[in-house]
Amino acid sequence: MHHPFPPAAISIGASDSSGGSGVQADIKTFTALNCYGASVITAVTAQGFGGVKAVHAMPDQLIRAQLDAVANDLPITAVKVGLCPSASAMRVVARWIREHPNLPVVVDPVAFDAAGVALLQPEVVEVLRKELLPRATLVTPNRHEAALLAGMDEVLTSEDMEEAGRRIQKAHGCAVVVTGGGASGRSLDVLVALDGVRHVESAAANRPKIRGAGCAHSAAITAQLAKGDSLREALTTAKAYVAAAYFAAATLPDGRGVVWHGVTVDDSTVVPTV
């Protein structure tokens, strides 16, 4: 029996051997949301839930070859860009995106981890600003990354999140969703787009050792854009998905764990406000 090919998205980023983040997490998320996942590996990491032990960057020519091979065969309808380990690798990705101008592009800048530790060199951030963000549909910085991209000392409050989003949107032209805010028991994202500002909240558990929420969030937005959702619709579904995945997190005996990607989305957990 012939089944039509589903909407397809590419995850461009690093391989995470633990499966908790990076390309592996993205493909799990795409599949959970009924979107076919393809990958372009920019780096291979050796890591567990306790951190990264080693990184090997892919040659730029191989990154380009992966992009062309995937795009030539599959009906790609959206792209997520995660970690690019070098300025030259990011330029390869930005050049390919420029050659495919009709694809929605979600950029997860991966410049800082959740604890605020820098992951990218300044020259990579510069290419991100000048060559990738101007071609993006959406960028999804956490509060540390938003402060960097907006030129602010820190982003703490919802007002800070709005201000950072406005600065980034004005500077680069793409929509922005700043993540990682909210009061106790709630998780807040702030979307700044050409048509205004939107706050999206969900319930949140205080489980600091659970990883993978950021990758799952940007991948879920990408999957929904691949399926034809508007940006606001995609953000609402992604927020619900991550909330459910967070509460269903798989944990080790020491409390460390990862969001569970195979969850069912429940939109009732999300409260969108204008």
Cβ-contact 241, 266 below 8 angstroms: no
Most confident region among 45-59, 178-192, 214-228 by mean pLDDT: 214-228
Predicted confidence at residue 183, as pLDDT, reads 62
Q: Is the pTM of this model over 0.95?
A: no
Helical packing angle, 60-73 and 87-98, nearest 10°: 30
Exposure pattern of 161-177 as b/e (b: 16+ CB <10 Å)?
A: bbbbbebbbeebebbbb
Q: How confident is the model at residue 9 (pLDDT cuts 50, 70, 90)?
A: very high
> In sequence order, what DSSP letters do the residues of 95-157 get, joined into one string?
HHHHT-TTS-EEE----B-TT--B-S-HHHHHHIIIIIGGG-SEE--BHHHHHHHHT-S---S
- d(Cα 114, Cα 91) in Å, to the nearest integer? 25
List of domains in the chain: 8-273 (3.40.1190.20)
The two three-digit tokens of residue 42, written as one number: 């920019």
> 76 — phi, psi (to 5°)?
-70, 130
Cβ-contact 176, 161 below 8 angstroms: no
- Minimal CA–CA distance to 175: which of 267, 73, 106? 106
- d(Cα 38, Cα 228) in Å, to the nearest integer? 18
- Minimal CA–CA distance to 208: which of 150, 256, 166, 146? 256
- d(Cα 227, Cα 234) in Å, to the nearest integer? 9
- d(Cα 224, Cα 253) in Å, to the nearest integer? 34
Predicted confidence at residue 274, as pLDDT, reads 41
- d(Cα 260, Cα 274) in Å, to the nearest integer? 29
Instruction: Give residue-wise pLDDT tens across range 184-199.
Output: 678 899 999 999 999 9
Handedness of CA 241, 243, 248, 249 (dihedral sign): positive
Q: How confident is the model at residue 43 (pLDDT cuts 50, 70, 90)?
A: very high
Cβ-contact 25, 246 below 8 angstroms: no
Q: How confident is the model at residue 119 (pLDDT cuts 50, 70, 90)?
A: low
> 80 — phi, psi (to 5°)?
-110, 135
